[in-house]
Structure 1
């Protein structure tokens, strides 16, 4: 009879008992139990050397240490890094091993993943639906060409108050300049934090934001707000994602996902404690965490300071002599002639704009060196009424 997986030990014992009676030959026993002669002699040899314990199944695991096995110290370090950085995957942990061990002692990324999986430290990934690749609307080629800024979605702290983290990053190096928790999303809070960052790191050429307050407004001319006009005064061009398209600033949104996982689940009790968590996240993100888009380098190792320093006083600006200089009133309009008005934006009240005629009564309006829109003075004369500035000629 053949060996059965569930009664293999019983079959071996029965075979030995029959053999010990001396009534059967090896050939007869092999035929009865349907095994080969080498198998029969192997069982008899084990019984004679070790008794019935020798009939137990032997482990198929290789004896001694496998020559390609990962060093125990490296394995312990992998587990230690995972304990310290629970949200990191195998690739980032593998990169950090190079700080502690020579290259020949470091296993592959797959081996690191298998070690983590063996110890139950790998969470199953949800199968994601395939989507068309999304490319950023602004893809800078060097540091400080474009910065990104946004208020990460609010979350409730332990004291039942909301925290609104303002984040500012460099789009090229992914370096986080700040993650500042505020109670409200307003101009005063944002401008104060931007000032601190500008003083420390310099100013960029452009700042990319969405269309939410205080950064932009879809109802305003060119979507500019009071904060936008302050950027323009500093020599920074405000640029925006298309309305309802946050994926166009995907690099910043991806960082927000990591920030949320690290700092808001769960949140701290109050804003002071929450700020310590935000600061800790920024330090780790900038100086410790390898970034795949940077060839597994850290943002701090890639980023360069801006060569454009922050002006403590608003720089003066002189319009060209060919322009007509107009002051914006409290209502956000400029007077045109004796009775007519051209409405621009209340965010420009008290400031001076320049108007340049391009022919046929069409005027282009600028704030400093940034184009705002057009207006047609012929409409003012024929309709004798105020008009709004238009961004496109009809």
Structure 2
């Protein structure tokens, strides 16, 4: 019998059989008080009154008030990212007395299904905090992205935070996170707050040249730290938790600012958005790691008298630097707002005239008067059959389509200009030093004149065809003049040539025409494209590569043109289609989706097109 049935039988023995309560209690192994309680509950509620009841008290003097619990739930619904600590702080701000405990707030949230319950964590007291005892002792610096413009451009954000106070000292939006842009944001923070004792960064090339190859070098950021007496600390490789405070601020910025804000129209609007959030974070938003104080309460910059005694050293090149020049030629490049670069007079916005300088380096052969580090030489070379031209320490990729063509290289210690048919086709960073340039002179190279410039805008916009190179993204897209062109995922990761005619764009790979698209650009806009040059001969129309079928073996492999190709075990037993190109095999499934692309290692002809038995030689 169940417990409820036993209670019922005990009650019936007392009421109907008139058995004494003491005897009934002894028989059922309970106290006399229990039997009397059963009799009372049966008289009040009948048979249901004998069911088990909860021992929970009807009230408790320490129970949280219903009004306070409703306020906790309302604050959580209005601010879904607030946790128990922040909610407890907000209750104190609103004058709730007495304040409940943090665990009580958590239990209210779990009971109302506003948070998911989880296991008990280690107490915060068991963690050893890692922070400096005073502000301005250590700054953590980093670079992040995910700041978008309306045209799809991703901006970069140079950030810095004080280790002791969590005060954000740097939050500069730049178009490209170059070393100069990072140093410009760092210099603005040094001028505003003074120099910290140490800075902590990762091993990015914007911050350090310690790991440069073939030899280490001192980058501009390292030089600024050395000149200002700042010790530069680096994190271990693949250990981002070392800069955990700045990484945590990136997460807060993403959740509380960027996720709730759409793309910005321009860079200035993005900077204004970041500045508003930075001001709120530093002065108004309570920080849990600071016992709900704001970072501005714990932060204090270097006093003005101390900064006057030891002013901040800034390189004059941050205001204006000379561009890549040749003998007797100088071009000024200024640094615009938020680290944007503007070259030449009248270009860009907010051009700074402070520290503007020119450079006119001498040139000559080694051992002659005037020979110096600004030496530039010109060499003529012929592209080999493989398309990869090597000139001493540097290699230049042209592709097999340009094999046998004569090219001219304008080489200095900073830049290499590549010219084809008298036109500049690309500009690359130089890996040559002064000694290697002198050896080129001794080997027959000639001293170079001014660096070659791009074709004039008027010439490119006059109606002539224009060519330029772009790299296809992983999803088959190239960017051109603020527009995105879908050229096909089959070209993902490859360098293609775009030939722009009046209303058409031809996609060319290795001299063969792959696709023709309508041009979204106005004719006069073609001359302003980066890397544009006058077009050469029209490309040859690419022939469709032959297709063959193969059945994948039980081990996931096939054989095409006497070359074994591993497709993968998930495709075992299926029939796949193989496009046989001159350089690669493309394996496609039954829906013509590319499964795999494999380089071709031989020149054997296709002798079998079907997946079964047919071995007759194809024409």
Normalised TM-score (structure 2): 0.41
Say which of 278, 289, 292 aligns to 2:286. 289
Q: Which residue of 2 aligns with 1:177?
A: 169
Is contact 1:157-1:267 (8 Å) kept? no
Runs of at least 5 residues in structure 2 that lack an aligned partner in the other structure: 317-358, 374-412, 415-619
Is contact 1:74-1:106 (8 Å) kept? no
Partner-residue secondary structure (3-state), 1:152: strand
Compared with structure 1, are the counterparts of its residues 58 and 159 closer, same or farther at alpha carbon in structure 2 (3 Å cutoff)? Answer: farther
Give, in angstroms, the shift of residue 302 of structure 1: 0.6
Say which of 283, 303, 308 aligns to 1:307. 303
Larger helix percent: 1
Distance 1:21 1:84 in 2: 62
Give, in angstroms, the shift of residue 148 of structure 1: 2.2
Compared with structure 1, are the counterparts of its residues 146 and 46 closer, same or farther at alpha carbon in structure 2 (3 Å cutoff)? Answer: closer
Is contact 1:215-1:228 (8 Å) kept? yes
Distance 1:140 1:59 in 2: 53
Is contact 1:149-1:209 (8 Å) kept? yes
Larger strand percent: 2
Compared with structure 1, are the counterparts of its residues 82 and 54 closer, same or farther at alpha carbon in structure 2 (3 Å cutoff)? Answer: same
Runs of at least 5 residues in structure 1 that lack an aligned partner in the other structure: 317-327, 348-394
Q: What do the CA deviations read for 1:245-278 (whole angstroms, capped 9, x no partner)?
A: 54443433343344455456x5854246876875
Distance 1:207 1:27 in 2: 84
Partner-residue secondary structure (3-state), 2:160: strand
Confirm or deny that 1:144 pairs with 2:140: no
Is contact 1:169-1:177 (8 Å) kept? yes
Decide which moves more: 181-190 or 192-201. 192-201
Q: Which residue of 2 aligns with 1:186?
A: 178
Q: Which residue of 1 aligns with 2:64?
A: 70
Distance 2:151 2:133 in 1: 43
Give, in angstroms, the shift of residue 151 of structure 1: 0.3
Compared with structure 1, are the counterparts of its residues 33 and 93 closer, same or farther at alpha carbon in structure 2 (3 Å cutoff)? Answer: same
Q: Which residue of 2 aligns with 1:237?
A: 230
Please give the root-mean-square deviation of Cα atoms over the aligned residues, in Å.
4.8
Say which of 82, 85, 94 aligns to 1:100. 94
Give, in angstroms, the shift of residue 168 of structure 1: 1.4
Normalised TM-score (structure 1): 0.59
Decide which moves more: 223-232 or 165-174. 223-232
Confirm or deny that 1:39 pairs with 2:31: no
Is contact 1:228-1:238 (8 Å) kept? no
Query: What is the count of residue pairs matched by the alignment?
Result: 315
Give, in angstroms, the shift of residue 95 of structure 1: 4.0
Q: What do the CA deviations read for 1:52-97 (whole angstroms, capped 9, x no partner)?
A: 5644544423233x21123344434444454455445434443444
Give, in angstroms, the shift of residue 226 of structure 1: 2.7
Q: Which residue of 2 aligns with 1:116?
A: 109
Partner-residue secondary structure (3-state), 2:38: helix
Is contact 1:154-1:162 (8 Å) kept? yes
Is contact 1:205-1:236 (8 Å) kept? yes
